[in-house]
């Protein structure tokens, strides 16, 4: 007999201390403690929470934001750095799962940054590390493109958890990739504000409406719970933009703001909807409620045509260089024919590392899907 878990989740509608990594980490740890004290088993933070979403990149010309970019790069964190260790420790201490967005740095470069998200287990283990596949619009001037390595659904005691960042929730192939791995709880994260037009023009992007459409669509199509976490636009973000001028500030103030909420497998909002003020939106998740809607249409089961549609996903991690160390020079060895690896287009087969593929047919990732 299959037993389905039931528990409480929290969407953390909280703002970081803009461009201040240490204080943002402290705030994240305090929020984790608060949500855990209220019975939440999973806490979800917004996109780019550490050290704040680069809202400045969309309100003035890029030649005016070099200082902001340098500040962001200096405040960015690495996946194995002490900042995430502190958040992992908080998750372990409270015995909860945590999803948090951050700007990721790398030792390979002082200027290459990614829009990343990490899922942390109740024991502090990193369960999945995802980099946004394609930065959206003016984000391309800040973040690099990610890869498919993080397109994974993790099997936990809370069910099968997956996550996408902001505009990725508009990508039907990315969403289907998670659906096809048996996703039951989806995490979607967003910034506080997203201006797309000057003040004097109509038709600015309605961020709240866009979030509701995307989140509801994925919940309804995948038959999953969807935890939506965005950040409110607060005074620390406002202060960071002030030096770009009154017009930039006015544009951000006038633009539609984001929302946080939790949606059930039928597309219905089941939590408070938070926008202007900080807070935690709670809701109860019962994975058993994902079952009945599948009778209507299960797009990764019977309600599809896998003989017609095929999807292949490359989950290879990208690296700037691959080294082969500790090998004697070729002239000192004469390898036997049986030991020579096959080549493809002149390259050693497998040199890029293991590559997973998700086919168009329903398939679940291995039970041990953790990414250390």
| pLDDT, tens only, 144-178 | 999 999 999 999 999 999 999 999 999 999 999 99
* Helices and strands (H and E) in the chain: how many: 7, 13
**Residue 124, Cβ density class (10 Å: 0-12 exposed, 13-18 middle, ≥19 buried):** middle
Which one of 29, 47, 183, 223 is the catalytic residue?
A: 47
Which of 87, 110, 89 is CA-nearest to residue 99? 87
Q: What are the tokens at 196?
A: 């797309």
pLDDT attached to residue 340: 38
CA distances, 316 to each of 7, 26, 117, 118, 351 (Å): 34, 34, 17, 17, 11
Residue 365: pLDDT band with limits 50, 70, 90: very low
Q: What is the mean pLDDT of residues 25-34?
A: 98
Q: What is the mean pLDDT of residues 255-283?
A: 97
Answer yes or no: is pLDDT of 115 > 70: yes
Which one of 132, 183, 223, 290 is the catalytic residue?
A: 132
Which one of 71, 166, 183, 223 is the catalytic residue?
A: 166
pLDDT attached to residue 77: 98
Clarify whether 168 is annotated catalytic: no
Mean pLDDT, the chain, integer: 90
Which carries the bigger pLDDT value, residue 261 or residue 346?
261
Compute the distance between CA of residue 43 and CA of residue 337 in angstroms, rounded to an integer: 54
Give the pLDDT confidence of 182-213 residue by residue, as tens digits. Answer: 999 999 999 999 999 998 898 888 999 999 99
Answer yes or no: is pLDDT of 334 > 80: no
Compute the distance between CA of residue 270 and CA of residue 261 in angstroms, rounded to an integer: 8
Examine residue 51 and say whether the peptide bond preceding it is cis (omega within 30 degrees of 0).
yes
Clarify whether 166 is annotated catalytic: yes
Q: What is the mean pLDDT of residues 330-340?
A: 50
């Amino acid at each position: 007999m299959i037993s389905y878990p039931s528990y409480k989740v929290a969407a953390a509608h909280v703002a970081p201390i803009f461009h201040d990594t240490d204080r943002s980490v402290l705030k994240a740890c305090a929020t984790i403690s608060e949500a855990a004290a209220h019975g939440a088993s999973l806490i979800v933070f917004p996109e780019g929470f550490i050290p704040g979403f680069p809202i400045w990149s969309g309100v003035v010309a890029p030649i005016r934001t070099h200082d902001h970019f340098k500040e962001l790069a200096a405040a960015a964190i690495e996946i194995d750095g002490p900042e995430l260790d502190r958040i992992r420790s908080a998750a372990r201490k409270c015995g909860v799962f945590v999803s948090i967005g951050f700007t990721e740095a790398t030792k390979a470069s002082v200027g290459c940054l990614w829009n990343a998200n990490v899922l942390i287990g109740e024991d502090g283990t990193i369960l999945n590390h995802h980099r946004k596949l394609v930065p959206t619009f003016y984000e391309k001037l800040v973040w690099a493109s990610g890869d498919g390595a993080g397109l994974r659904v993790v099997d936990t005691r809370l069910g099968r958890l997956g996550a996408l960042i902001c505009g990725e929730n508009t990508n039907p192939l990315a969403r289907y990739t998670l659906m096809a791995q048996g996703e039951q709880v989806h995490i979607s994260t967003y910034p506080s504000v997203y201006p797309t037009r000057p003040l004097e023009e109509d038709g600015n992007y309605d961020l709240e409406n866009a979030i509701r459409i995307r989140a509801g669509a994925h919940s309804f199509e995948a038959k999953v719970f969807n935890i939506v976490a965005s950040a409110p636009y607060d005074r620390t973000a406002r202060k960071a933009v002030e030096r770009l001028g009154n017009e930039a500030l006015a544009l951000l103030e006038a633009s539609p703001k984001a929302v946080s909420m939790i949606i059930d497998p039928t597309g219905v909002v089941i939590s408070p909807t938070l926008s202007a003020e900080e807070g935690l939106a709670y809701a109860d998740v019962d994975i058993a409620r994902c079952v009945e809607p599948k009778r209507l249409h299960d797009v990764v089961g019977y309600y599809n045509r896998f003989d017609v549609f095929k999807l292949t996903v490359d989950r290879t991690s990208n690296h700037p260089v691959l080294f082969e160390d500790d090998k004697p020079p070729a002239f000192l060895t004469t390898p036997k024919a049986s030991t020579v690896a096959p080549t493809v287009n002149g390259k050693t087969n497998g040199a890029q590392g293991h590559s997973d593929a998700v086919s168009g047919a329903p398939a679940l990732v291995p039970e041990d899907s953790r990414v250390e």
